[in-house]
Chain A
C-alpha cells in the first residue's frame, strides 16, 4: 500500500492503495465515483473509459501508480466541457442509450475524439469508437449523435 495523488475532474484526490490497483476500482470503490463502469477488466469493452491527461484510456488497465500526478476526467466531469455538454445533449436528443451501461465509456471516447478531431468522418468515428462495445446495439445512434455534437460544438 502506498499513497497516490492525482486530480479527478479538477479536484485533488489522494488514496492509499496497492500500486497495481486499477484506476477503475480506485474511482469506484475508494472514491465512490460509480459513473465509470466495469465491463471486462481487460480493456476489451471500453465501459471504463476515462481521460488521462485528455486522452481516452481504459481505466481497468491503468494501475493507480501510472495515474499518480496526472489529470483525470470521468463521466461526472464531462459537463463543464462545452464539447462534453454538446455530446450529452445529442445523446438525449437522439435517444441513444437503452440500458445505458456502456454510455459513460462511449461518451468519454467520443469526447476525446472530438477534442482532437472536431469534425470526424464516419470512418474516423468508427475507428475511434471501435473499442467501445454496446450490447443494446446503439452504434448507429452513437455515430449520428457524434456528428450532431460536432456540428454544434
Chain B
C-alpha cells in the first residue's frame, strides 16, 4: 500500500473502498524487460513480464501474484494467458509468486484479480506470441503476416511448415519486445467467454491440496495463543504450570504488548498474550486451555450500550458523501415523508479453515508460510518484527480455506513470527475455531437513518441516508487517518453515496463511531450494510407511494441502461408479478458494486410454522465480459449463500466486552437443507471484466427482507431476521 498516500488521493482514487482497491500497478520490471534472455544452464527463456516465462523446452510458467481462496484465480488467470498465447491452459505451470517488489503490491481483494490482470496478462502473452511468430518468420525467411500461432506452435500458412514454441524460444528471446502487440479479437476467442472446468479441482477431491494448516516442516512445532477475551486489555499475569503439565507441551512463551507500523501505513497492535508451544496441535490446544491467565477485563462494552452509542451518534453531524440539490428543503416541502432506521450487527468471517500461519525465523532470515490475501503485508510485518531486510523475508502464499477479507489481517501472521522467534524453531500457530470467532476483525455493525420525500403525485423528490458505523480503514491506519476523515467516509458510504436512483435532492453522510471491537473487510465490505438500507428502504418508499417496487425502480433507473438490463433480466427470469400462494413473498434488490459489476436478485420466501424459509433466489449479473461463465455462476452462488447465512442468523454480540459466540453452534451458518434453489443469469457485455467475488452479496439481504415484507406485511429493519 502506498506510504505517502493522502486522504484526498484515497478518495480520488476510489481507494476509499477499503484501501484494497489500489489500481494494479504494473511493476517496473514488466515495463522494462526487453526480451530478457535469461541463461539457466543451457536453456534460454522468453520472458515479456515478471508474470510470464517460456522455457526452451516449451514450458510456460505463470507467476501467480494472486491468492487462491476459492474464487478461481488459479484457473481464470491461466485461461487468459492461454487464450492470448495460443497454448492449452492445462499445460501452464502455475507458480505462486512469493512477495517480491518485481511483482508490485501483492494483495487479493476488491474483486479485482481478473479485472486488474486482464490487460497486463493479455499484453505479456500477446508480446510473447508475436515474438515467437517473428522468430519463426525469420527462420523460414517469410513474412510474419503469413504465420500464425496455434496450440503451442507457429505455422506457416502457405507451406504448412510448423515449429514448436520450444524450438523458437532461443530465437524469440533476443527479439525486441513489441510495444503494442495486437490483442486477439473477442470473436476469435476459443477459451474465454465459455464455461471451462476449473484447473485446481483434482487435488481438492483426493486430500492432496495443501492449505496453510497442512504446511509441515522439519523440526516444526505447533502453538496456540491466549489473548484477552476483552479486546485490547492487558495481561496481568499467568500460571504456566498447568499448561506445562499437559503431555506434549514443550514451552510456554509470553508475548509482550506493543505496536508495529508496517509498510509505512498499517498499524498492528501486538497483544500482551501467552503462547503454548507443543509437539502437536492438540497438545497446544489442551495446554492453552489449561493455562491460567489473568487479564484486566473490567468495563467491557456490551451490545445494548453500543446500540445506544450508535443511535446517539446519529443525532450529530456527519461527513458529507453526496449532496445533490437541497434535500432538507425538499423534505420540508414534501407532500409526504417516509422515514425508517435500519440496524445491522457485527459479523464474523468464519472461514472454513481457521486462522493459522507457519513461520521459521532464523538468524538473519525468515520464511513465512501464510494462507494470506496480502503477501506484501506479511512481508512488511515480518520486516517490522524482525528488523530483517525484505530480501531476507520469504513469504510463501498457500491456498486457503476461504478468505472473505479475513485473510487480509496480520494478527495470526504476527503470532507465528513472534512465537518462532521466541523458540528458534519453525512454528505453526493454530487458532481454534473459538479463538477465530472471538478474535476476528468483524464486519462493522451499523445504524442507518433514511428519509424520503414524495410530492403530491407520489414522485420521490428527496432522499437522505445517514450511515453510523465504525471505520475499517481508520482502525487499520490510525496514524494516517481519523475515523472522521474523507477517506473513512468514502469507504463507509460505499454504495450509499452512489445511489443510482434519479432523485433530485439527495444527501448522504457518515457518522463515524469508535468502539473497542476490531473491524475489518468482510466480503463486499460496506456495500453489505448500505445496500440493505438502500434497497429495503426503497421498498418502503414504493409501498408508501402505492407503487410496484420493480416498476418504481425501473422508473428511477430509466437513465441507467446497464441497471435496467440487469433488473429486467432478474425480474423476467423470476416471473415477477406472477401470483404466489398466501404466506409467500417475492422481493427484488439491485446493487452496482464498486468493481462496476451490477447484480440484481429476486428472493422468494415462505413464512410458515417453522419460520422463514428462502425457497428460491434468481440472480442476474452484468460483470462485463464473462471470462468463465461457470466460475461467475459459482461466485454468485457463493455470495448468495454467504449473505443468506448472515441475513438469517449472523450476529456477533458482546457482553462485558466479550464476544458471546464461539463456534458454529451459536454462530450458525446455512446448511444444505436450507439451501434455496439458486439460478444465475449473466448479461452479455462487451465491456472488460469487472470482478465477481463480492458483488453477489449485497442485494441478497434486502431481496429477502422485501420478500418477507410481502409475505408477512411487516417491514424488516433489522438483521439478522431471526433476531
Inter-chain contacts of A22 with B (CB < 8 A): 282
CA separation between A39 and B637, bound complex, in Å?
22
CA separation between A10 and B191, bound complex, in Å?
42
Q: Across chains A and B, which 10 residue pairs bring their CB atoms closest together, nearest first?
A: A35-B207, A137-B641, A101-B401, A99-B70, A100-B204, A98-B70, A75-B207, A29-B280, A25-B282, A34-B214
Q: Which of B633-689 contact A (CB under 8 A)?
A: 634, 637-642, 645, 663-665, 669-673, 675, 677-678
> Are A138 and B638 in contact, CB atoms less than 8 angstroms apart?
yes
B352 smallest CB distance to A (angstroms): 4
B478 smallest CB distance to A (angstroms): 30
Inter-chain contacts of B639 with A (CB < 8 A): 137
> For the side of the interface on B, what is the size category?
35 or more
Listed in ascending order, the chain A residues whose CB lies under 8 Å from chain B are 1, 18, 21-22, 25, 28-30, 32-42, 44-45, 47, 74-76, 78-79, 87-88, 91-93, 95-104, 107, 125-127, 129-143
Task: Write the chain B residue with the least CB distance to A108.
Answer: B207
Inter-chain contacts of B201 with A (CB < 8 A): 91-92, 95-97, 100
CA separation between A101 and B352, bound complex, in Å?
7
Inter-chain contacts of A30 with B (CB < 8 A): 280
Partner of B207 from A42, A76, A130 at Cβ < 8 Å: A76
> Are A99 and B205 in contact, CB atoms less than 8 angstroms apart?
no
How would you classify the secondary structure of chain B's contact residues: helix, strand, loop or mixed? Answer: loop
A139 smallest CB distance to B (angstroms): 4
- Asked whether B433 is an interface residue with its Cβ less than 8 Å from the other chain, the reply is yes
Given the interface pairs A98-B634, A99-B401, A133-B669, the reply to whether A40 lies near B247 with Cβ below 8 Å is no
> Are B672 and A104 in contact, CB atoms less than 8 angstroms apart?
no
* Known contacts A28-B281, A99-B70, A100-B201, then 16 further A-B pairs from the complex at CB < 8 Å, ordered by chain A residue: A25-B282, A37-B401, A42-B665, A47-B352, A91-B205, A99-B69, A99-B399, A100-B204, A101-B400, A102-B401, A126-B672, A132-B672, A135-B402, A135-B404, A135-B669, A137-B640
CA separation between A89 and B672, bound complex, in Å?
21
CA separation between A44 and B434, bound complex, in Å?
12
CA separation between A107 and B211, bound complex, in Å?
18
Chain B 25-65 per-residue mask, 1 if CB under 8 angstroms from chain A, else 0: 00000000000000000000000000000000000000000
Inter-chain contacts of A137 with B (CB < 8 A): 637-642, 670
Q: Between A and B, how many residue pairs show CB distances below 8 Å?
A: 184
> Are B673 and A126 in contact, CB atoms less than 8 angstroms apart?
yes
Task: Write the chain A residue with the least CB distance to B400.
Answer: A99
> Are B205 and A98 in contact, CB atoms less than 8 angstroms apart?
no
Inter-chain contacts of A142 with B (CB < 8 A): 672
Partner of A136 from B205, B432, B638 at Cβ < 8 Å: B638
A18 smallest CB distance to B (angstroms): 6
CA separation between A75 and B430, bound complex, in Å?
22
| Most chain A beta carbons < 10 A, residue from B207, B280, B670 | B207
Given the interface pairs A44-B665, A75-B206, A99-B400, the reply to whether A38 lies near B675 with Cβ below 8 Å is no
- Asked whether B353 is an interface residue with its Cβ less than 8 Å from the other chain, the reply is yes
Inter-chain contacts of A21 with B (CB < 8 A): 282
Inter-chain contacts of B279 with A (CB < 8 A): 29
- Asked whether B197 is an interface residue with its Cβ less than 8 Å from the other chain, the reply is yes
Inter-chain contacts of B463 with A (CB < 8 A): none
- Asked whether B12 is an interface residue with its Cβ less than 8 Å from the other chain, the reply is no
CA separation between A125 and B673, bound complex, in Å?
9
- Asked whether B209 is an interface residue with its Cβ less than 8 Å from the other chain, the reply is yes
A68 smallest CB distance to B (angstroms): 17
